[in-house]
Chains A and B, each alone.
Chain A
Amino acid sequence: MEEERRQTGRRTLLKAGGLVVASGAIGSIWAFVTGVSTKGNARKRAMWIRIVDRPTLSEKTSDYKRFSGNDMFALYRPLKTQRDGAGSFEAEQASKAERVAAWIRERKPGYSLPDVQLSEGAWTVMHSTKPGVGLLSWTRISVRTPAELGTPRYTAPPEEMASTVKAAARLYGAGLVGIAPMNEAYVNLQALRESENEKDKDIVFGDVDVPSVSDTKFVIPKKMKWVIAIAIPMDLDLLSSAPTALGDAASALGYSHSAFVVSSLAEFIRGLGYEAIPCVNDTAQSVPFAVDAGIGELGRLNKLVTPEFGPAVRLCKVFTDLPMACDKPVDFGLVKFCRNCKKCAEACPSRALSFDDEPNFKTRGPWNNPGHKAWFEDSYKCLQYWQKSNSACGICLVSCPYTKGNEAWVHEGVKATASIAPAADPVFRIMDNAFGYGKQHDPEQWWMNKSQSGRRG
C-alpha cells in the first residue's frame, strides 16, 4: 500500500514536471516568435529578427554618390509631354485635379467626394510645412532651451540617450525607431523644390554650430553624426483600397503623421540642449538610413520592408548632434524570400518592378541612384499608372506577404519560420495567395467598417 502510494506520488511528480517543461517550451517559442520578454514586461523585437554587422544588400561601388533630390520633376515632364504634347509638373497636377473631379461626378467607387476629401484632410499637416520652414524648421520653434531654464544640457551614456530618444519618438507616434551613423553619401545634393521653376538649393555640410536655411543653400553642421530613422505604419485597411483616392489617404496620413513625429522629436532634442534637423522625404534618402538603423531590409520593391509592417510604412528621420549608441542592421530572411516570391512584381499593373532573380547593379533610369545592389524599379512606368488611376497606387505595398495587419498570431509564426527556414518560402507564397491576401478591399465598405470599429487603429 505504502509502495503504491509512493509510486503514485512519483508519477504525479513526473506529470507535473512534464507539464512545466511543455509550458516552458511553448513559452520560449512564443517569446521567440513575438519578442515578449519577462524582464520588466518589456516587448523587444522578436528573436527571429537577427542583428547583423552589414545590411543584407550592402554591396556598393565607386559609382555610389550623393543623389539629386529633384528627379521627380524629371519624371513628370516626359510623362505630361507624352500625353498632351507639352507640359510640366504643375500642369500635370492641374490636369489630375480635373480628372479626379470628373470621377467624383461619375461616382466612381473609391473616388466619391468624401473619399477624395478624406485624403485632402489627411494631407493638412504635411501641406502646412516644407523643408526648413514651419514644422520642419531646422532651428528651434518654441521649446525652451536648457540655457533659458538655467540648467546645463542633458547628458547621459550613449545607450541611455538612445533609449530616451526612442521612448520619446514612440510616444509621438513612431512605429519603429533606430539610430544610424550619419552617412553623407545618403544626403541629397539639392533641397526638394516646391515647383519646377524654383532654383536648386544645394545641401552642404559645414563647420558650423547650428543648421541654417537660406535662399541659396541648406547647411548641415558636420557635428551632426547621428540619424534617428523612424518608420510610421500606414493604415492598412485604408491602404488596401488602393488604387483609389481613398487609398491615397493612407499615404497622406503617413506623411502628416511623419511631419508631426519628426518635428516633435526635433523640439524634444533641442529642449535637451542639442541641435536637430527634422526631415520627411526631403534632404536625404530615407531608405539607406533606415536599413543601417536596423528598421528593415531593402526588398524587391526597392523600398524598405520591415519585419513588423512590411513595406506599408512611411519613413522619416531626424539628424542630430546628440551622442547616441547606434543600432545595427537586421536580417530576417527578406532577400531570400524576395528571390522566390515576386508577388509585388506580378501585382504591379504597370510592370514597373523587377522580375530578376537576383538583385543587381542595373539601374533602369535617372531616378535610380547607381552604385548599389538592388532590384531597381521603373519609376516612369509606375508614374504612368499613377496618372491612369489618378491615385498614388500602392498595390505593391499591399501585395507584399510581409504586409499584414498583425491581428492574427499565425502571421508572426510564418514570418519567424521564413526567417529561420527559407526552404519554406515557396509554400508561404502559395498560402498567401490561397488565403487571398493582397487583394483590393471594397472602398465603399471602408466607411461603414471604420465607423463601427471599436478599435483605435
Chain B
Amino acid sequence: MINGADVFTITIRKRAWWFWALAGLWLLLEILLLQTAVASAQEREYRAATISWMLVGLLATLGCFAWLRRRGPHKRSNLSEQHREATTSEPASISTAN
C-alpha cells in the first residue's frame, strides 16, 4: 500500500528490443573473452590471459552498471506513477505490458 491507498498499480515495463540485442552481444563478448583467458593460460600466453581476465572483469562491471542504471530510474518513475495513480483513486489494475 502506498500512502494509505488500498489499491496499487504494478507496471512491468517492456525493455526496448535494442536493450536485449546489446545484452546478447555483451554475453557473447563475455563468453569469448572468458574462453580467450582460459585458453591463453593453457597456451602459456600469460600476458594475453591477464589482459583477457581484466577485460572480462571490466565488461562484467559495465554490464552490471548498465543493468542497475536502467533499473534505478524505472523504479523511481514507477513509484511516482503508482503514487500518482493511487492518489487519483483510479480503479485497481495490474497491467503487464510484456
Contact = CB atoms under 8 A, between A and B. Distances in A.
A388 interface: no
B36 A409 contact: yes
Interface string A408-420: 1110000000000
Contact of A408 (B24, B35, B46, B47): B35
A127 B49 CA distance: 39
A437 B24 CA distance: 29
B51 A434 contact: yes
A439 B44 CA distance: 11
B32 interface: yes
A435 B50 CA distance: 9
Q: Bin chain B's interface residue count.
A: 10 to 19
A290 B42 CA distance: 30
A240 interface: yes
A405 interface: yes
Interface in B16-57: 24, 32, 35-36, 39-40, 42-48, 51
A445 interface: yes
A436 B45 contact: yes
A449 interface: yes
Contacts of A439: 47
B44 A410 contact: no
A240 B43 CA distance: 10
Contacts of B42: 405, 407
Contact of A407 (B24, B32, B39): B39
A236 B43 CA distance: 9
B47 A237 contact: no
Contacts of A22: 24
A437 B36 contact: no
What DSSP secondary structure best describes chain B's contact surface? helix
Interface string A370-412: 0000000000000000000000000000000000010111100
Contacts of A405: 39, 42-43, 45
A409 B36 CA distance: 7
Nearest to A455: B42
Contact of A237 (B24, B39, B44, B46): B44
A437 B44 contact: no
Interface string B79-92: 00000000000000
B51 A437 contact: no
A361 to B, nearest CB: 38
Contact of A240 (B24, B35, B44): B44
Interface string A429-457: 00000111101010001000100000000
Contact of B35 (A409, A434, A445): A409
Contacts of B48: 408, 435-437
B51 A408 contact: no
Given A407-B42, A408-B40, A435 B47 contact: yes
Contacts of B36: 408-410
A409 B32 contact: yes
A431 to B, nearest CB: 10
A435 B32 contact: no
B72 to A, nearest CB: 27
Contacts of A240: 44
B88 to A, nearest CB: 26
Contacts of A449: 44
A408 B32 CA distance: 8
B29 to A, nearest CB: 10
B28 to A, nearest CB: 8
Contacts of A407: 39-40, 42-43
A439 B47 CA distance: 10
A236 to B, nearest CB: 8
B9 to A, nearest CB: 19
A440 to B, nearest CB: 11
Nearest to B37: A408
A409 B46 CA distance: 16
A441 B48 CA distance: 13
B51 A435 contact: yes
Interface in A236-258: 236-237, 240
Interface of B: 24, 32, 35-36, 39-40, 42-48, 51
7 closest Cβ contacts across the A-B interface?
A: A436-B47, A407-B39, A408-B39, A405-B43, A435-B48, A408-B36, A410-B36
Given A408-B48, A445-B44, 14 more contacts: A237-B43, A237-B44, A405-B45, A407-B40, A408-B35, A408-B36, A409-B32, A409-B36, A410-B32, A435-B51, A436-B46, A436-B47, A436-B48, A437-B45
